[in-house]
Structure formats: structure tokens, C-alpha cells
Structure 1
Amino acid sequence: MPHELEHFRQVLLAHGRERGDAPAIEGATARYSYKQLLAEVWQRAEVLSQRPAGVLLLGLDNGPELLFWDLAALVSGRACVTVPAFFSTAQVQHCIEQSGASLVLCPQTWEGMLSQLGFVEQDGFWARAVQPPATLPQGTAKITYTSGSTGSPKGVCLGADAVLRVAHELELASRPTQPQRYLAVLPLGVLLENLGVYAALMAGASVLLYPQAQLGMGGASQVDFKRLLGAIALSGAHSLILVPQLLLGLVTAIERGLTRVGPLRFVAVGGARVAPSLLARAEAIGLPVFEGYGLSECASVVSLNRPGALRRGSVGRPLPHVQVRIAEDGEVLVAGSLLLGYLGETPTREAWWATGDLGFFDDEGYLHLNGRKKHQFITSFGRNVNPEWVEAELTQSGVIAQAFVHGEGLPRNLGLLWPLDPGATDAAIEQAVQQCNARLPDYARVHAWRRLPAPFTATGHTLTANGRPRREAILQRYHSLLSEIPL
């Protein structure tokens, strides 16, 4: 058994012995003590040990049941992937097929898709024989899919030691504030949230794990802020993890007197760039916000601001388990707790991971980021989107000739469009956009657009010689047009 996994197991056993009646998990309809948590997890681990080898895929909503199976897979050594609820049907099917999952726990709405893939209901699971089984890098405990910069996101294979070491460092980072009630706001299919829950269990805290709808969360970017703020207030949470857009909603509500900081002691924020002005507003109202940085390939969190080591505008100092250096071209390189490899690809043997992010260290060792080397953008909800994927979908309609999609740090994606027929009406373009959106997950959709005054051209320096958009030039030239689009 990997060292960190054995340590995690011993910590949970100690909680069961020393504080067995203390609350561990609180769901929508039931609560479980640490003693009950252990019983539920070991029972499921025994069930998994009697099943044929293969990947377990979880498609359940946030709640105790999802966590019990997730932990059971971890302690029994079965590779597990949890699919975020905001994935499209096509992406879910891709995850199932690529991972070679042989066991699935999911909502009834997946029945038709699973039947077509050869699954049958069996002892509470959807099960199938995998021929041939997917080849996983040795030691794979968790397969995580990011929100998907393209239609077919890669599966990142991680070992138990890598995942649990990060969770351990998160627990140590938050320890000075002694949070005893942790509210899981994001889906457990998001690796950062998964690790946040592990960290809370390591601390012996109560994990508040409610269905996403109960928190007002729908899809990747749909939020009922009234419901979310009410849930945070009623939960009595001491700590939680937010993406920037959720932090903005919380800060704004506190500023307007709609809610209070209350018992919150440690609010981690990550997944996308956080505006320094938002961090300043949080500080002004006394909200204890700590910005961090990471990526799935490095088992999530790489650096984090924390009590006693806080520098606004930075993403904090690297956590002790990793090494970070800056390449000659400014790219951030990371060593320690790296992925084992991508599903279906040769296992990685890289000592240093090239993150694709540009950054620098200040004189006191705080890491600052300067954007990314590639064109992929991250929305303010922390969803990765490759604009070329969306633009390709838009231009396949037969109505739109050219498309430029922008959403860096924004709550909604914006589009600049040029029709195939210059005489096409706005209504025809809108219909084409909506047809495209129907094929995309919600975080990748174009939520608002404007017609370009003229097409992109190489002579106008908005296209490369081979016809690719010059993104920086387009953003500069059409900054005013984009800024006029209401968010």
C-alpha cells in the first residue's frame, strides 16, 4: 500500500477510535459519525474486492453515497474516475470508453447510453466485461478529467500518494484557522474539491456534502446565488473552496449586506485567475480568502497563499511537496506529485512538468502568473476551453464563415462572427449559434455575440498566412466591440 494511502487510512482509523461519535459527513437527509463513515467505506471496499478488476466510474451527485464509493475505491486499490455533472453526454461516453470502465454508478438517465455500450444492471451497478481492458499506468488510483479544453478531454492518471500528499499539505495550510466544518461547493468530480474533502477528513472536520441543486449549482456555470448564499450561511461552514466567479458573488453579497462573513475562516480560491481588485474587496470586508494555483497534471494544488504567508496578487508560495522553477522563456515548471500519464498514452517519465503558464517569483518566493503560452482560456468558473474547438463547431453550420471566441476570466463566452453570406440576418446567425450550443457543454457555449464589421484577413493582420486567427491582434482591434457586449 502506498505510504500516503496507509497514512490516510491510519488517520481515519484513529478518528474512528478516538472520536468515533464525532460528525464526519452531513448530507441532505442523513448524517454519519466517523465510526459510521468507516463502516460504510469498508463495507463498500469489500464489495469492490469481490468484483472483477476494472475501473469504477462514478456519475453520482454530491452526497455521502458518492464519497463512500470514492473512498472505498481508494482504500481497495481500484482505479476510480468521478465524472462532473456538467459534462455533456458525448463527453461522459468518451470518459467511459477511454477509461474502459467496467463498473458504473450513475443516475437512471444514463440507462440508454450504458445499454448501448454493453452494460447491464447487476447488483446495484451497471457492469460489463471489458475486452480488452484499458491500459492504465501502474499505480493509477484516480483518473481525473478536467472540464475539457476540447470535446474529448484527456484522462489524467494519478497515484494515491500524489493525490493524498496534496490533500495533506492543504490540511496543514488551513490548520492555523482550525476549520471544523467544511462545505463542499464544487462537484466531487472536480479534483480540487475532491482533495478539499480529503483534507477536511484528515483534520477530523465535518464534511457538509449536499446535492448541487441544493446549493444552487447547475451545470458548469449556472448559479442561483440566492440559494448558494443561503446554503453557505445555514451550513455554518468554517471553510470552503470557490472558483473566482463564486467568490465574486459572495463578496458582492457581503458588501451589499445580503449575507455576512459569519464563521468562515478559510476560503480557498482557484481554478482561474482572480482579479487583484476582487481580492482587495474581500480583504476590506474581512473575508479570509487565500488564492492558489495548480493543475490536474500536478495533482491539483501547486502553490497557495495561507495564514502567515499571504501576498495579494500572487498565487502563494509553492507547497512543500513540490519544486517550482521558471524556464528561460518564462514558463512555470513543476516537479513532484506529477501524473503517471494520460489514459491511452505512454506513461510519463518527465521529472519537470511544463505547465504552459508564464510566471515569475518575487524576492520573497511568491509565485506570480502572467498568462498562458497557448491559446486555451479559463472562464471565471474555472472551466478550460479551447476556442478553436468552439470556433470549429460554429463554422460547421453553413451559416458562419469566421468565428472568434473569447472568455478569459469571464462568466460568459463571447463571440465575434462573420457570416458566409454577408446579407445573412442576425436572426439566422443566432439560430446557427443556438444549434451549435446544443452540441456543446454549457461552459463552452457562446452566450453572446456581435457581428464583425468586416471579415478577418491576412492583409488586415487578423489572420496568419495559413488562415489562423491572430488572437492578440483581434483582441486589441476589437476590444471596444467585445467590451460593449453585456455580461
Structure 2
Amino acid sequence: MSRIIAALQRHAASDPRKVALQDETRSLSYGELLPEIDALAQQLQASNPRVLGILADNGTAWALADLAAHAAGIPTIPLPLFFSAAQLAHVIRTAGIDQVLTDQPERLAALQHPELPVEPFYGALQWVHLQTHADDAAPLPHGTQKVTFTSGTTGEPKGVCLAREAMETVAESLGYASEARRDDRHLCLLPLATLLENVGGLYAPLLAGATVCLPLLAAVGLSGSSGLDVGRLLAALGEWQASSAIMVPQMLQAVVAAGQAGAPLPRSLRYLAVGGAPVSLRLLENARALGLPVFEGYGLSECGSVVALNRPGAQRAGSVGKPLPHVHIDFADDGEIRVRGLTWLGYLGEPSAPATDGIATGDLGHLDADGFLFLTGRKKNLFITAFGRNVAPEWVEGELVAHAGIAQAAIFGEARPFNCAVIVPYPGTPAGAIDAALAQANRQLPDYAQVQRWISAAEPFTPGNGLSTANGRLRRTAILGRYAAQIDALYQS
């Protein structure tokens, strides 16, 4: 039996009135939750979808749809709301999705036919039956419970196939590492279609018997793939009395800036996880100085989301924490991190089975004597200067964005005599302030990693313009291509 379903049974027996799921319009206790899941699971089994898609805003309906499919053993694909029409069509076709639970049926009708069969499912969710051809779909690896699509904001997204056991193992380890408890109120700030929030923000709290708060994304200040209203975010944390939450670095940066400007910060938080992209040490220090209980972590979709996490009583500045209890980490000869202890099922549509000797992460790093994991950059991003020095750009960029005025930075220097940066300043920041920030950051860096010259970006690096992924990782090749002429001019002058 699913560990999540077994936990729900225990919580229903021990504390049936405790609120399990809550959004703006409804709440479900643990005593009410299982009957709802069972009824919806029976509906899904009767309809017998090959693959079920979920395309909807956050809410109890999304959570119930996911949990019902989980209980019924029906392969599920969360569809990010920010996917373009072409990307949705690609995922539906490649995965052979034949049924979708959605609060936006018009988007699916626009892809296929204006009169697609639609029927009610639960709350605002509609049940849409698609016209798909199973013969055209990639076969799902045996045991696939969920396919999560990584980044994929330009081009065709890539699907990672995961088994139920893998996701539940990660969720259980996360509960242990974060000291999740029954009186927690976890506020979902990221889309539930994001694996990190799905596993860490839904499954882990339910295993612990906590309350999961699921307001609409707009209510917590999110819009599109990267829009953020920090005022709404802070208000939501206070209104929902959140004790735990998950943020990506850009969200934490905005919260810290607001706190430094005098905005009141929530005091109910006991655990604020930060991940999805590299986090500046200075940003974490600034957050802690404001009283925010921030804990950096690290993971990837192929590992079921989180691999390592700082935790109460076991955190180290500059590290991404200790590996979760089920994880073993070792390193390739070039320093690439390899993760063992979790079996994943491969990429959708790729016939080759995943390696059995561990997952090659593409990240470079090391463990210290006490078992804390430190990241030094991406293997594919490492560049070598004209003087033969290796530079991991993420390290330098982390130093830059920790300074006031610099919102984003991309560092380049392959085969060059010095490094340069494409910088996105915060609105209204004068060039002199950026120069001062660079000088201050350079004092913290060795000479070969320092940034000597910079240009101002014409616009932020976002998923919408193809210059970053959905979780904030820079698309370096795209940025370099966009600013190639200006970068070349820095070296000619």
C-alpha cells in the first residue's frame, strides 16, 4: 500500500477533525479526506485513462486529483500553467495523455477541438477527454506513477518518469529532515505542478499529519512563470499563519529586500526551505539577520526532487546541507556529484534504461569532513580563462546578486583575459551603484574570478524570453547569443 494512504488512515483514526487540506473556499479534515480520495479514485478507475494530465491552479481540487490518481495507481502528468500551447501539445502527444483534469478547458479545446467532451469532476476541475492516438505515444516505463517535465520553457520539455515508491521515500526523508510535525501549517507558494512543491509541500506534510494550505497562486503573489507581487506573498504568509513554506531564490531575494525596506515579515514561520537554483550565501545571511528561518537545499527531478537539505541543528553556511537519509553521494574523477539510493525510471521516450550505478547530476561539488555537501557549479557551465583558470560562473554570480542593486547576473570568460558580466539591475539603480557593488564583490573573489567589465541587460532573464528556466536557472547560451556583440566590444575596448 502507498505510504501516504496508510498515513492518512492513521491520521483519520487518531485525529479525524484535524484539517488536512485547506484553500480559500473549502477545507477537508483527515476524517473527510480519505472518503473523498476513494470516491474520486473509483471515478478515475472506471474511466480508465491511459495517462492523466492535471492542468489547474493550486487548490484542494488539484491535491485531491493527484492523491486520487496516486491511490488508483494511474500514471499522472502535472502540466505547468506557464507551458505554451506548443509545449502542451508536445507533452500530450508524446505522453499519450487521453484525459485531463483542468480548470482551464478552453486551453485544451484550442489545441484540439472546440467541442471536446467535458464533464464535472471536483470543485472547479473539469474532466476533459482528449483525442489522442496511443500508437503515437512513447511507452511509459513499467511502474511509472508520475512524469514530471523539467524546465522546458523553450523547445520541447523533457519528461522524468518516477515510481510511487521513489516519491514517497523522498517525502518521508524530507519530513524527517525538516522536522515536520502535526501542528505545522505548510503554505504552498510554488505551483503544485512543480515536483518540489508536489513532494515537499503536499506529500511530506500529509505524511506528518500537518495542514496543507492551498490558496490560488495569484493570492500568494505569483503570476505567469516569473511574476511576483512580494506584498501579496508576505500578506499570505501572515494570513495563513504558515509555519513552513518553500521558495525559489528570487522569491527569497524579494522578501529580504522588502524586509530591509521596513516591510513587516511573518513570525509564524519555523522552516523556510530555499532551492531550485543556487542561493547566494550573503542572501541567506541577510535573511537570517531579519529573523527568517531559511534552510538551503539541493536536488533534481531525476532524484525525486530533494537530495540534500540543511536542517535545524545541522546546517552549515555555504553548504546545501547533508544528504537525506535514503541518499548516498559519491563523486566522479572530475568532481561531478553522483547520487545513489534512489531508483528512477528514465526519460519519457528514451529507450535506454537509466544507469544502475547512480545518477550523474551534472553538478560539481564536494562533501566536507562532517558530511555537508557543497556545490561549486555546473559541469557544463565551467569555463577556462585565457590564463588556464577554471571558473564556475554560479559561484561568482552568487556573490554579485548578494549586493544591493543587482537582480541577476550572468558571467562569461571562456578563453578571455578577464571575466565580464551581463547584469540586470533593479529598477532605478544607477550605473555607479553597480560599479560599487562589483568592486565590493571582487574583494571577496580571487583575481581570476573577478569581474572586470559589465553591460546592462535590456530586460530580466525570464522563462518568457527564453533566458532562464522556470526555476530560475540561467540559459547561458541564449544570454551569450543575445549579447554577443556587446560582450565582444568589452574586450575590443
Interval containing the TM-score (normalised by the shorter chain) = 0.7 to 0.9
Specify whether residues 156 and 60 from structure 1 end up closer, same or farther in structure 2 by C-alpha distance, changes over 3 A only: same
Query: Residue 200 of structure 1: which of 184, 205, 210 is its match?
Result: 205
Question: 8 Å contact 1:276–1:313 — kept in the other structure?
Answer: yes
Task: Establish whether residue 29 from structure 1 lines up as the match of residue 25 from structure 2.
Answer: yes
Separation in structure 2 between the aligned mates of residue 411 and residue 43 of structure 1, nearest angstrom: 50
Q: C-alpha distance in 1, partners of 2:128/2:250? A: 36
Indicate the residue corresponding to 2:363 in structure 1: 357
Task: Choose which of 194, 203, 206 in structure 2 pairs with 1:190.
Answer: 194
From the superposition, tell whether residues 74 and 406 of structure 1 become closer, same or farther in structure 2 (CA, over 3 Å).
farther
Give the structure-1-normalised TM-score.
Answer: 0.77
Name the amino acid aligned to 1:185: L
> How big is the shift at 1:480?
10
Relative to structure 2, which stretch is displaced further, 121-130 or 223-232? 121-130
Structure 1 position 282, deviation (Å): 1.5
Which of 125, 128, 135 in structure 2 is aligned with 1:126?
A: 128
Show the counterpart of 2:375.
369
Aligned residues of 1:176 and 1:307 also touching (Cα < 8 A) = no
Q: Aligned pair in 2 of structure 1 residues 407, 295: CA closer, same or farther (>3 Å)?
A: farther
* 1:311 lines up with 2:316 in the alignment: yes
State the secondary structure of the residue aligned to 1:175.
coil
Q: Distance in 2 between matches of 1:277 and 1:336?
A: 32
Q: Which residue does 2:280 correspond to in 1?
A: 275
Name the counterpart of 2:40: 44
Verify the 8 A CA contact 1:166 1:195 in the aligned structure 2. yes
Task: Please say if residues 179 and 265 of structure 1, whose CA atoms lie closer than 8 Å, have aligned partners that are also in contact.
Answer: no
- For residues 333-364 of structure 1, what are the alpha-carbon distances to aligned partners after superposition, in whole Å with 9 as ceiling and x for unaligned? 11122420111112324321111111111121
Shift in CA distance, 201/316, structure 1 to aligned 2, threshold 3 Å? same
1:298 pairs with 284, 303, 307, which one? 303
- Residue-by-residue CA offset, 1:29-87 (whole Å, 9 max, x unaligned): 11111122212111110001111341100001100001000000111100001111122
Q: 1:113 maps to what in 2? A: 110
Amino acid at match of 1:353: I
Corresponding residue for residue 218 of structure 2: 213
Q: How many residues align?
A: 409
CA contact 1:177–1:265 (8 Å) conserved in 2: no
Q: Is the 8 A contact 2:181 2:210 kept in 1?
A: no
Q: 8 Å contact 2:139–2:349 — kept in the other structure?
A: yes
Distance 1:337 1:188 in 2: 22
The root-mean-square deviation of aligned C-alpha atoms, in Å, is: 3.4
Matched position secondary structure for 1:444:
coil
**1:21 match: secondary structure:** coil
**Higher deviation after alignment, 136-145 or 89-98:** 89-98
Instruction: After superposition, give the CA deviation of every residue in 1:85-115 in whole Å (9 maximum; x if it has no partner).
Output: 1222211111111111111112133143343
Which residue does 1:237 correspond to in 2?
242
| Partner amino acid, structure 2, of 1:9 | I
Query: Map of 1:140-219 to 2, 5 A cutoff?
Result: 140-148=144-152, 150-175=154-179, 180-196=184-200, 197-219=202-224
Instruction: Sort the Cα spacing of 1:265 and 1:409 in 2 relative to 1 into closer, same or farther, 3 A.
Output: farther
TM-score calculated relative to the size of structure 2? 0.76
Following the alignment from structure 1 to structure 2, what is the Cα–Cα distance between the partners of residues 145 and 411? 31
Matched letter for residue 131 of structure 1: A
Correspondence for 1:284 among 281, 289, 299: 289
Aligned match for 1:256, one of 261, 266, 273: 261
The 8 Å contact of residues 234 and 265 in structure 2, kept in 1 or not, is answered as no
Structure 1 portions without partners, runs of 5+: 382-386, 388-404, 413-432, 447-467, 483-487
Contact 1:302 1:318 survives alignment (8 Å): yes
When residues 76 and 237 of structure 1 are mapped into structure 2, their CA distance, relative to the original with a 3 A threshold, is same
Indicate yes or no: 2:13 matched with 1:17.
yes
Post-superposition shift, 1:213? 1.0
- Secondary structure of 1:342's counterpart equals coil
- 1:465 match: none
Q: Which residue of 1 aligns with 2:390?
A: none
SS at match of 1:262: coil
Local SS of the residue matching 1:186: coil
In the alignment, the residues of structure 2 paired with residue 91 and residue 287 of structure 1 have an alpha-carbon distance, to the nearest angstrom, of 37
Instruction: For residues 414-449 of structure 1, give each alpha carbon's deviation from its aligned partner in whole angstroms, at most 9, with x where no partner exists.
Output: xxxxxxxxxxxxxxxxxxx99xx9xx9526259xxx
The residue number in structure 1 matching 2:354 is 348
Task: Label 1:408 to 1:294 Cα distance change in 2 as closer, same or farther (>3 A).
Answer: farther
Tell me the equivalent position of 1:320.
Answer: 325
Q: Is residue 80–residue 143 contact of structure 1 (8 Å, CA) maintained in 2?
A: yes
Counterpart residue type for residue 366 of structure 2: F
Partner of 1:428: none
- CA distance, structure 2, for counterparts of residue 150 and residue 338 of structure 1: 28
Partner in structure 2 of residue 442 of structure 1: 464
Contact 1:159 1:340 in 2 (8 A): yes
Maintained 8 Å contact 2:75/2:146: yes
Q: Write the deviation string for residues 299-354 of structure 1: whole angstroms up to 9, x where unpaired.
A: 11000000111001000111111111111101111112242011111232432111
Q: Deviations over 1:213-267 (max 9, x none)?
A: 1111011210011111111111100000000011112222223331224110000
2:147 partner letter: I
Cα distance between partner residues in 1 of 2:38 and 2:425: 43
Counterpart residue number, 2:270: 265
Could you list the per-position Cα deviations for residues 427-486 of structure 1 after superposition, in whole angstroms to 9, with x for gaps in the alignment? Answer: xxxxxx99xx9xx9526259xxxxxxxxxxxxxxxxxxxxx99969x99x949979xxxx
> Relative to 1, partners in 2 of residues 1:156 and 1:119: Cα closer, same or farther, differing over 3 Å?
farther
2:94 counterpart of 1:74 = no
Q: Which residue identity is paired with 1:341?
A: G
How far is the alpha carbon of 1:165 from its aligned partner? Answer: 0.5
Code of the aligned partner of 2:26: A
For residue 117 of structure 1, report the CA deviation from its aligned partner. 10
SS at match of 1:32: strand
Amino acid at match of 2:76: C
Against the structure 1 CA distance between its residues 111 and 328, is the aligned structure 2 distance closer, same or farther, given a 3 Å change threshold? Answer: closer
Q: Which runs of 5+ in 2 are unaligned?
A: 121-125, 383-392, 402-409, 411-419, 428-457, 469-476
Q: What is the rounded CA distance, in whole Å, between the counterparts of 1:479 and 1:315 in structure 2?
A: 35
Contact map agreement 2:180 2:208 (CA 8 A) in 1: no
